[in-house]
Amino acid sequence: MTDIPGTTRDLIEEQINIRGVLVNIVDTAGIRETVDLVERIGVERSKEMIIDADLVLLILDGSEGLTEDDRKIINWLGDRRALVLLNKTDQPLLIDEKELASLTKADIIKTSMIDGSGIDELKDYLYNMVYSGQLRPTSQVFITNTRHKEALLRADRYLNDALEAISAFMPLDMVTIDIREVLAALGEITGDSLTEDLIDKIFADFCLGK
Amino acid sequence: MNFKSGTYDIIIVGGGHAGCEAALAAARMGHNTLLVAMSLDAIALLACNPAIGGTSKGHLVREIDALGGQMGINADKTLIQIRMLNTGKGPAVHSLRAQMDKHSYQQAMKQTLENQQGLTLREGEVDRILTKNGRVSGVSLTTGEEYECRALVIASGVYLKSRVIIGEYSKDSGPNGLFPANKLSSNLKELGFSLQRFKTGTPARVDKRSIDFSKMVEQPGDERIIPFSFMSKQIERDQVSCYLTHTNEKTHDIIRENLHRSPMYSGDIEGTGTRYCPSIEDKIVKFHEKKSHQVFIEPEGLKTNEMYVQGMSSSMPMDVQVSMYRTIPGLERVHIVRPAYAIEYDCIYPEQLKLTLEARHIEGLFFAGQINGSSGYEEAAGQGLVAGINAARYLEMEEPLVLDRSQAYIGVLIDDLVTKGTKEPYRMMTSRAEYRLLLRQDNADFRLTEIGHRLGLADDKRYGQMMRRKEAVDRQIRLLRDRVLAPSGLVNDYLKGKATTILKTGISLYDLLKRPELSFSDLKALDEHVDKDLSEDIESQVEINIKYEGYISKQLKQAEQFKKMERRLLPEGIDYEKISGLRLEARQKLKDLQPLSIGQASRISGVSPSDISVLMVYLEKLRRDKREDT
């Protein structure tokens, strides 16, 4: 990666965990008018990604004024759920915040990736979005395997048992018995638990021959 | 010159806690047994703490007793204080811990050995294990004697190439100034065993008359003595106290200033110590934010002024020991009688053993105790008992005793050692047991006495007593189930007083006892038909079984699930090279460790769940092939 605009052409995907919320972050190519064919493909893919995204993080370089490209993107984003990160606050700010606020409906957070300011605010923002129900996961989780469904239900049941045991002031050794069940159930999905009938299932589901 | 000195069925090398249990078990199972120890004065020496039991260790003692071992009986004879620990927590972690009169404990055990039919004692140093065609055939002593045997238990403790270190000073020595065993180490190497080097340590012993107990908190024993052994009758005995005091910043400063003189940090000690029983300098370095550590002053016996300073184990030079001990409240003028020291020693990698404690590559050769990398008297005794039993079973060509993780702490201990190995002296802890609600100290006889009886180790008297106890508990539970308490003013007033819900309809006493606010004594107050003459022991059994019934049955189910994997046996001589799909590391580990079952294989580090699936598919295919062949 370089700091020359236009050099990110592939999408870079990374998962991060913000206080228990799993966030899929996609770093797209910068969106700008270009004659370079390769870069244009990158820009097109970025646009598709933005349409699918639950939230767009628009990062503006605050150490430079708003560019023509920036304005176009803001315009193009329209009503899409977005958050503007006014970055590089460690340097003198050349973007007029009031003007920026008048251009977009999106919230604005000032950040610096150098001194880390605004990062906590950003995390709070993402976390709150999920837990205030504003952001519903667009891709819903489907459990297609009945065995997994059954295991999840069992895990849920034992979690409730554990909570009950705690509120009944049961000794911790009792609570751990339920927690162990929860782990065993989840382990059946991840493959970490050994169960006697696993083998029968393997033989039933796949043809292993002799 | 070597000369033939005699023939025995089984020889035990070492007279510590492992050796004693092994020798007694072998002899009691009817085999002509010889115990060779370097010093007969050091039989069952409590080389460190003058105490037996403690959290999870008390469980081990009860299990040893339930199987027909000796430690619990002799501890009861010679204890001078006993307490049930963790009574504020759930029943799974209640544990007995007793202070011993060290000398009396040793004497009692020596006498038990001396009077045991079929057991002979011999003082001497074993320098070689003799083998013939991959089987044990005897031992030779440094003095030239050769004894023949068909099974051998090595329980040599911390004596192999042992070295005692006190600051800048060190000498080749066993604990308490006893001789080290220098020959056996190299012989074990010649026989193909890999050895590792471990370290342990002990605090100073101090003169009682130089202690100001008024600055400490007295720790008396329990009012009612609950004995270790299921066979011991009610014990009435005057108990002596321990005393609690604390280290402070001054103590810690002295240690920090002198850290460069500690052999642990200067590099003079190469052995690995245990994290769970650290020296005081280790504690200061690792928990540097803690301003104070507990120190217990424990009597070494009734006929000595020596006191054990628990929590202050150290390998610091003498001048540092004196000045740091003297910063502790009550120890300002303390006189050190015996210095604290660290000791390092050779032990084997326990992965070289089977779950029976027999060496994988030499038939009839068993190992038990600290030589296997464990620490603690009770851990040693538990292994000794199993090694002794299995040496006997080997000669009888009978199925060996392998206790699994859902049956006993002894099972957890041995499985951990031989399946996972250990990188530091292994200490038992309740957290190591997955099924600890089942493995309580109070039901060890229900779990194990029948097994001990079948082995010919637990006698009829012990078996009969266990059965009677069991019947009494079952009978009470049945009675409480059948007996229904009707609501009445009197009853409800009583319940109100206990801050529990009043009755609107009848309720069985069984269900009533499930309420957390009520205990068995409340049932006695509420219903005149409830047996008033039950022993406290039976009452508490009934209470535990009813109150935690739901959890006990849940854990039983978990244990059953676990056992299914333990029962999927891997055939002996399985060629792991030929099973495709196993990862390289797993293949190597499985080849080295030759696990008994799928269950054991799954606990080997480096064998992943997917390797296990591969193994299970392999086994299933093997089974189906067989079925088609017939």
Q: Tens digit of pLDDT for each residue in A182-208?
A: 999 998 888 777 766 666 666 666 555
Given an 8 Å threshold on Cβ–Cβ distance, is B564 in contact with A203?
no
Q: What is the pLDDT of residues A23-66, one digit of tens each?
A: 888 887 777 777 777 777 777 888 888 887 888 888 988 888 88
Q: What string of DSSP letters covers B247-294?
A: --HHHHHHHHHTGGG-HHHHT---SBPPTTS--HHHHHHHTTT----E
Residues A124 and A28 grouped into a single domain: yes
Residues A93 and A155 grouped into a single domain: no
Chain A interface disruption, residue of B436, B617, B626, B629, most A CBs within 10 A: B617
The H or E element spanning position A122 is helix A119-131
Strand ranges in B501-540 using DSSP code E only, listed in sequence order: 507-508
Q: At B404, give phi and psi (nearest 5°).
A: -90, 175
| pLDDT over 90 percentage in chain B | 90
Q: Tell me which chain B residues have a C-beta less than 8 angstroms from the C-beta of A194.
A: 565, 598-599, 602, 609, 612
Strands lying side by side in the sheet with B163-166: B169-172, B163-166, B341-348, B195-202
Q: List the structure tokens of B530.
A: 């409830």
Given an 8 Å threshold on Cβ–Cβ distance, is A194 in contact with B565?
yes
Q: Tell me which chain B residues have a C-beta less than 8 angstroms from the C-beta of A172.
A: 89-90
Look up the domain containing A159 and give its range: 146-205
Is there a domain that residue A136 lies in?
no
Given an 8 Å threshold on Cβ–Cβ distance, is B609 in contact with A192?
yes
pLDDT confidence of residue A209: 47
Q: Considering only CA atoms, which of B549, B350, B347, B538 is closest in space to residue B437?
A: B549
Last residue of a domain, one of A101, A131, A161: A131
More confident residue, A138 or A19: A19
Q: Is the pLDDT of residue B562 over 60?
A: yes
Distance from CA of A92 to the nearest CA of B (A): 43
Q: What is the pLDDT of residues B282-320, one digit of tens each?
A: 999 989 899 999 999 999 999 999 999 999 999 999 999
Residues A77 and A156 grouped into a single domain: no
Q: Is the pLDDT of residue A149 over 50?
A: yes
Is there a domain that residue A2 lies in?
no
More confident residue, A117 or B2: A117
Q: List the structure tokens of A94.
A: 């050349």
Given an 8 Å threshold on Cβ–Cβ distance, is A171 in contact with B89?
yes
Given an 8 Å threshold on Cβ–Cβ distance, is B93 in contact with A173?
yes
Among A168, A172, A199, select the one facing B616 at the smallest CB separation: A199
Q: Residue B234: left (phi > 0), alpha (psi -120 to 50), or beta?
A: beta
Strand ranges in B376-494 using DSSP code E only, listed in sequence order: 484-485
Residues A124 and A30 grouped into a single domain: yes
User: Is B548's Cβ below 8 Å from some Cβ in A?
Assistant: yes
Q: Considering only CA atoms, which of B353, B358, B409 is closest in space to residue B379?
A: B409
Is there a domain that residue A30 lies in?
yes
> Residue B151 in contact with residue B363, Cβ under 8 Å?
no
Q: What is the pLDDT of residues B143-162, one digit of tens each?
A: 999 999 999 999 999 999 99
User: Is B613's Cβ below 8 Å from some Cβ in A?
Assistant: yes
Among B90, B610, B613, select the one facing A171 at the smallest CB separation: B90
Q: Is the pLDDT of residue A2 over 50?
A: no
Given an 8 Å threshold on Cβ–Cβ distance, is B620 in contact with A195?
no
Q: Tell me which chain B residues have a C-beta less than 8 angstroms from the C-beta of A189.
A: none
Among B554, B612, B620, select the one facing A194 at the smallest CB separation: B612
Q: Which of A146-155, B182-191, B607-616, B619-628 has the lowest average pLDDT? A: B619-628
User: Is A168's Cβ below 8 Å from some Cβ in B?
Assistant: yes
Is there a domain that residue A6 lies in?
no
User: pLDDT category, B481, cuts 50, 70, 90?
Assistant: very high
3-state secondary structure of A205: helix
| pLDDT over 70 percentage in chain B | 100
User: Is B78's Cβ below 8 Å from some Cβ in A?
Assistant: no
Residues A164 and A123 grouped into a single domain: no
Chain A interface disruption, residue of B431, B549, B616, most A CBs within 10 A: B616
Q: Tell me which chain A residues have a C-beta less than 8 angstroms from the C-beta of B565.
A: 194, 196
Given an 8 Å threshold on Cβ–Cβ distance, is B565 in contact with A169?
no
Last residue of a domain, one of A104, A131, A158: A131
Q: Is the pLDDT of residue A157 over 90?
A: yes
Chain A interface disruption, residue of B429, B436, B555, B612, most A CBs within 10 A: B555
> Residue A62 in contact with residue A88, Cβ under 8 Å?
yes
pLDDT confidence of residue A136: 63
Q: What is the pLDDT of residues B160-178, one digit of tens each?
A: 999 999 999 999 999 999 9
Given an 8 Å threshold on Cβ–Cβ distance, is B561 in contact with A195?
yes
Number of A to B CB contacts under 8 A, please give it.
65
Residues A21 and A86 grouped into a single domain: yes
| pLDDT over 90 percentage in chain A | 18
d(CA B237, CA B228): 15
d(CA A180, CA B109): 42
Q: Exposed (0-12), middle (13-18) or buried (19+): which is B366, by Cβ within 10 Å?
A: buried
Mean pLDDT of B410-431: 96
Distance from CA of A122 to the nearest CA of B (A): 34
The CB density around residue A167, as the number of other CB atoms within 10 Å, is 8
Contacts of B129 (CB under 8 A, 6+ apart): B136, B139, B152, B154, B184, B187, B188, B191, B365
Q: Considering only CA atoms, which of B101, B150, B102, B112 is closest in space to residue B130?
A: B150
Chain B interface disruption, residue of A154, A196, A200, A210, most B CBs within 10 A: A196
Q: Considering only CA atoms, which of A181, A173, A167, A160 is closest in space to residue B516?
A: A167
CA atoms within 13 A on the CB side of B243: 18
Distance from CA of B89 to the nearest CA of A (A): 6
Question: What interface predicted TM-score (ipTM) does this complex get?
Answer: 0.82
Q: Is the dihedral of CA B397, B399, B403, B404 positive or negative?
A: positive
Given an 8 Å threshold on Cβ–Cβ distance, is B93 in contact with A194?
no
Q: Considering only CA atoms, which of A132, A50, A131 is closest in space to residue A83?
A: A50
Q: List the structure tokens of B183.
A: 């020959």
> Residue B337 in contact with residue B306, Cβ under 8 Å?
yes
More confident residue, A10 or B554: B554
Residues A38 and A63 grouped into a single domain: yes
Q: Which of A88-92, B69-73, B385-389 has the lowest average pLDDT? A: A88-92
User: Is B296's Cβ below 8 Å from some Cβ in A?
Assistant: no
Q: Tell me which chain A residues have a C-beta less than 8 angstroms from the C-beta of B613.
A: 191, 198-199, 202
Given an 8 Å threshold on Cβ–Cβ distance, is B609 in contact with A171?
no
Q: What is the pLDDT of residues B210-262, one digit of tens each?
A: 999 999 999 999 999 999 999 999 999 999 999 999 999 999 999 999 999 98
User: Is A172's Cβ below 8 Å from some Cβ in B?
Assistant: yes
User: Is A173's Cβ below 8 Å from some Cβ in B?
Assistant: yes
Chain A interface disruption, residue of B554, B556, B627, most A CBs within 10 A: B554
Complete domains list, chain B, with CATH: 3-49+59-75+101-201+345-460 (3.50.50.60), 205-344 (2.40.30.260), 474-552 (1.10.10.1800), 568-629 (1.10.150.570)
> Residue B431 in contact with residue B278, Cβ under 8 Å?
no
Residues A26 and A123 grouped into a single domain: yes
User: pLDDT category, A131, cuts 50, 70, 90?
Assistant: confident
Residues A32 and A114 grouped into a single domain: yes
d(CA B356, CA B151): 13
Distance from CA of A191 to the nearest CA of B (A): 7
Chain A residue closest to B550 (CA)?
A: A174
Q: List the structure tokens of B213.
A: 């107990």
d(CA B250, CA A102): 65
The CB density around residue B126, as the number of other CB atoms within 10 Å, is 25
Residues A23 and A103 grouped into a single domain: yes
In chain A, the number of structural domains is 2
Given an 8 Å threshold on Cβ–Cβ distance, is A177 in contact with B564?
no
Contacts of B514 (CB under 8 A, 6+ apart): B546, B547, B549
Residues A41 and A77 grouped into a single domain: yes
> Residue B361 in contact with residue B349, Cβ under 8 Å?
no
pLDDT confidence of residue A204: 66
pLDDT confidence of residue B338: 97
Q: Is the pLDDT of residue B384 over 70?
A: yes
Residues A158 and A197 grouped into a single domain: yes
pLDDT confidence of residue A210: 40
Q: List the structure tokens of B11.
A: 């020889």
Residue type, A34: T
Given an 8 Å threshold on Cβ–Cβ distance, is B554 in contact with A172?
no
Is there a domain that residue A126 lies in?
yes
User: Is A120's Cβ below 8 Å from some Cβ in B?
Assistant: no
Q: What string of DSSP letters covers A141-201?
A: -----HHHHHHHHHHHHHHHHHHHHHHTT--HHHHHHHHHHHHHHHHHHHT-S--TTHHHH
Distance from CA of B565 to the nearest CA of A (A): 7
Given an 8 Å threshold on Cβ–Cβ distance, is B516 in contact with A195?
no
Contacts 24+ apart (CB under 8 A), B482-491: B482/B508, B483/B508, B483/B509, B483/B510, B483/B527, B483/B529, B483/B530, B484/B508, B484/B509, B485/B509, B485/B512, B485/B526, B485/B527, B491/B526
Q: At A120, which CATH number?
A: 3.40.50.300
